[in-house]
Amino acid sequence: MIRLFLFTTISISLLNVINCGYAEWEEVKPYCGARPNPQCCVSRDDDCFMPYYDSRCYCDTFCFRGIDNHDCCPDHDTVCEGKNATVPVTAPPKTCNCVDA
């Protein structure tokens, strides 16, 4: 019974640590804003990208092909189009107690 309790406690603790590591990915980071000049490219430019998770996001005008902007970097509209970013008024609720190592 004690082994089961210890196993469960350790498993839950490890899952919290893993969850906190993924929370860092959810932050909005500069992509187009972090590119060297030119930050944004005209037309289609396959070299105008930034690493995004396990793929690429683009900072060219071709990435904006419709409603979803699925190829554009998250900060494309702000950096390349000059649109104001919608900043949350309040911080999102804290989901776990993360400890940075």
Which residue's structure tokens are 């019974």? 1
pLDDT tens readout for residues 55-79: 999 999 899 777 766 789 989 889 9
* Alpha carbons 100 and 81: distance in angstroms, whole number: 35
Q: What is the pLDDT of residue 1?
A: 79
Q: What is the pLDDT of residue 29?
A: 80
Q: What percent of the chain has pLDDT over 70?
A: 60
Residues of the chain with pLDDT under 50: 18-19, 21-26
Single-letter amino acid, residue 51:
P
Q: Where are the domains of the chain?
A: 2-79
Structure tokens at 69: 């902007």
H helices of 24-86, in order, are 76-79
Structure tokens at 42: 């005209």
pTM above 0.75, yes or no: no
